[in-house]
Chains A and B, each alone.
Chain A
Amino acid sequence: MKFIVRNSKNRAPRLGLLKNIEGKTDVEIETPVVLLHTQGGHIPHVTHEVFKLVSKEPQILQIPLVSMHNFQETMQYYNGTISEFIGSKDSLTCLTLQDPSNLTKQGHHVKEKIPIWTKKGKVLYDSEMYMNIVESFKPDMYYLLSDGDTNKSSAPKRISKRKSDVLKKTFVMAPIAGGYCLKSRERCIEAVLANESDVGGFLIDGLHNNGPEVEFLPFVEVKDVVEHVIKKLPPEKLCSVQGCWNPVSVLKLVQLGVDMFDTSYCRILTERSAAMTFPIDSIEETDNFEINLRQPKYVDDFTPIMYSCQCLACSKYSRGYIHHLLTVQELLAPVLIMIHNIHHYLRFFKKIRECIRNNSLSDFENKISEQYKNHQEKVLSAKNQDEPRRFF
């Protein structure tokens, strides 16, 4: 797999292309791109069969190792790739360590080992174990092992020198650690560039500890670090971040030159019964940035989540039906909400690429920022109004 930057005049925002993909030469993926966040090999609530009803375009699945650790032994006996094993052979895969939708518990590192918290408890990974996993999973892309910790002392020491045939074909990305200390970040970048000449891209790691909090992380807090790191990175390489960034933060990160994100934001919205409704096309009229389908007012609302949305959930199912499914705790509720959220988020990224092409990203960003601000104010004032009621 190769990454090429298309509009090389600007450092950022930029368009790029992932191409020459091993075994899938007809597939090209445009950046800025959003990886489909998975747990246990699936988009939460959406089977691969159902996802085909959402999109038929080629996708990259983000595979958090923490959710696949229980297959570690099984995969050593399996001949195929991880995308075949999880039942989605046409998808590309990107192996990462932590699950961006869950808060990463911090733990003490034992020498060169990094802790991950699986459902069976803490497991320590060292470089050897990790590279064994990469070799047996055979993903299309993977990140080198890093602790991703936000504490400042993280150093770039866990880089493997092993080069098997499998690894040669895989697109490798190096995490840049160093927390919020610009000097540490610089040291990390220097070390990576000196040791790893053939990495295809980078991950700006250690900006947060994953989980739903990232949505509310003020962008100003990360801006300087991201800007500084991107300035020091070779411009021809792919630059990625992970986590549940809200759409405004995504736009600002794209403006700085980030090429790759993930859909963990869709999961945290779905888990709180919320559907994204922010307008993407200029003609779209929506009254809210997102709506919470649990609210009683939707009980007899037989309109779709969004009239202008073409997704399966919006074309066949009403807010009232989803509200009913939520009140009776049926499994189909998160399925329908997730179908819409993923569809909407993929559309959002398509729009981002289109805006970069037309030089209109700033206009789009202003519009979305405005909507998001109004939404946050509404949420806050609703909270304040709700407060006294609780004491009755």
Chain B
Amino acid sequence: MSTTNKPLIFTVLAECKVCKARVSKMILPHKEVDTPVFMPVGTQGTLKGMLPEQLEKLGLQIMLANTYHLGTKPGPDILKKAGGLHKFMNWNGALLTDSGGFQMVSLLKLAEITEEGVKFQSLNQHKSEVMLTPEHSIEIQNAIGADIIMQTTRWLDRCLGAHSKPETQSIFPIVQGTLYEELRIISVNDHTSRDVHGFAIVVEKAKMISGKWYTYVLTFFQKNKPRYLMGVGFAVDLVVCCALGVDMFDCVFPTRTARFGCALTMTGQLNLKKDFNPIDANCTCSTCQNYTRAYLHGIVTVYPVACHLLTEHNLAFQLRLMKNIRDSIHENRFPEFVADFMLNLHPDRNYPTWIKDSLAAVNINLL
């Protein structure tokens, strides 16, 4: 047993004999996390009206927070005074913060990357220009106190230098798109720095992680460190990318879509006035235990509680899918699980090409 204060201990427990999928345990300062894991996004230190008590009950182990948003409000001073975000928001599970840099570039059209940092127009009323330097980003992320913090590869060394809590917070470098140069920086850093405990990849869509590119990326990642695919979270993407060997995912979709009255189901839509069934008869969430489709249909988009009820289900849905994936890897039947999943989704066997190709690259053939 290791007693060193490592902020992340990653142990692979089982691997698929056919594809690259694996089940692991990731021990973080605040929580042990079972991977492959889906992490919902609690941008501003809260998750769509859900109490942390409810999230714990759902079995949620880790969620995301946004460095840029929290750095603006309440700001690092308040977060420091509050004793970190965990205490501030009463969340006992693990937290992960993004770099606040890269994401902003895609969010704000006026953002500009320079060697010094990311320059963008502030969201505050003065619309003043703000320069977010890597050092500042790390300072905010240290104040937030997340278990895992992210940094763009370009500034990795500057961040590792500015990192004030290496015993309690791990840094993951982010590989953007297919930048060959960035991969090389990572490769170098792997050997020079023990503070990198995992890797993150950003792509615009899951389908960009098609077989060949991914195998290429993999050669730069050490097998004994977690791989995090940022911004991906549709059920089908999760299944494909688990087969490719991804360990961590995040996406705003399941929580954002609840506000618009959308409940996640494997098949079918929820819009039936006289349908007294739950959203999903196989779901054990409290929403499916207590409410009918007809009732939810009548209150969605009208009352905030409806959003809470759908968020509960949507999170339960994502967590259940990940558990099914982990169980099937453990029980050595993951390729069958994938094939059944895809057939259920495409009964006509008209599978999208990227799915067929990606899965074929890891030796999974569809039914």
Q: Which residues of A contact B (CB under 8 A)?
A: 39-50, 53, 70-71, 73-74, 77-78, 85-88, 119, 299-300, 302, 312, 316-318, 320-321, 324-325, 327-328, 330-332, 334-335
Consensus secondary structure, chain B interface: helix
* Residues of chain B with a CB closer than 8 A to A70's CB: 298
Q: What distance in Å separates the Cβ of A198 from its nearest Cβ neighbour in chain B? A: 32
- Which B residues fall within an 8 A CB radius of A? 44-54, 69, 73-74, 78, 81-82, 88-90, 273-274, 276, 286, 290-292, 294-295, 298-299, 302-309, 312
Do A71 and B298 touch (CB < 8 A)?
A: yes
The majority secondary structure among interface residues of chain A is mixed
Contact across chains for B291 and A87 when beta carbons are under 8 A apart: yes
Q: Are B50 and A320 in contact (CB under 8 A)?
A: no
A-B contact pairs, 23 of them (CB 8 A): A40-B298, A40-B303, A41-B299, A42-B305, A45-B304, A47-B305, A50-B51, A50-B308, A53-B51, A86-B295, A87-B291, A87-B295, A119-B302, A300-B78, A316-B90, A318-B82, A321-B89, A324-B45, A325-B45, A328-B73, A330-B46, A335-B49, A335-B51
Distance in Å: Cβ of B339 to nearest Cβ of chain A:
37
B290 contact from A43, A73, A87, Cβ within 8 A: A87
Which 3 residue pairs spanning A and B have beta carbons closest together? A331-B49, A87-B290, A42-B305
Chain B positions within 8 Å of A330 at CB level: 44, 46, 49
Given contacts A40-B299, A71-B298, A331-B307, contact A299 B49 (CB under 8 A): no
Cβ contact within 8 Å between B82 and A49? no
When chains A and B are docked, how far (Å) is the Cα of A334 from the Cα of B46?
13
Residues of A within 8 A of B291 (CB): 87
Question: Which B residue sits closest to A68, measured CB to CB?
Answer: B298
Taking A327-B73, A332-B46 as contacts, is the C-beta distance between A299 and B78 under 8 angstroms? Answer: yes
Residues of chain B within 8 A of A332, CB atoms compared: 46-47, 49-51
Least CB distance, A382 to chain B, in whole angstroms? 24
Question: In the assembled complex, how far is the CB of residue A133 from the closest CB belonging to chain B, in whole angstroms?
Answer: 14
**Interface-centre pick from A70, A74, A300, A312 (highest chain B CB count, 10 A):** A74
Q: Most chain-B CB neighbours within 10 Å: which of A47, A50, A86?
A: A47
Q: Contacts of A88 on B, CB cut-off 8 Å?
A: 290
Q: Once the chains bind, are A77 and B295 in contact (CB under 8 Å)?
A: no
Indicate which residue in A41, A50, A77, A87 contacts B54 across the interface (CB closer than 8 Å): A50
- From B81, B286, B298, give the contact of A302 (CB < 8 A): B81
Contact check, B53 vs A312: say whether CB atoms are below 8 A apart. Answer: yes
Residues of chain B contacted by A78 (CB below 8 angstroms): 276, 294
How far is B83's CA from A321's CA once the two chains are assembled, in angstroms?
A: 12
Chain B residues within 8 Å of A119, by CB: 302
* Chain A residues positioned under 8 Å from B53 (CB to CB): 53, 312, 316
Measured between alpha carbons, how far is A21 from B314 in the docked complex, in Å? 37
- Residue of A39, A53, A78, A324 most packed against chain B (CB within 10 A): A324
Chain A residues with CB below 8 A from B46, complex form:
325, 330-332
**Cβ-defined partner of A324 (8 Å) among B52, B73, B304, B312:** B73
Q: Apart from A332-B47, A332-B50, A334-B304, what are 20 other A-B pairs with CB-CB below 8 Å?
A: A40-B305, A41-B295, A42-B299, A43-B305, A48-B290, A50-B308, A74-B294, A77-B276, A87-B291, A87-B295, A88-B290, A312-B51, A312-B53, A316-B53, A320-B78, A321-B82, A327-B74, A328-B44, A331-B46, A331-B48
Smallest CB separation, A333 vs chain B (Å): 8
The minimal Cβ–Cβ distance linking B56 to chain A, given in whole angstroms, is 12
Q: A136 to nearest B CB, angstroms?
A: 13
Q: Which residues of A contact B51 (CB under 8 A)?
A: 50, 53, 312, 332, 335
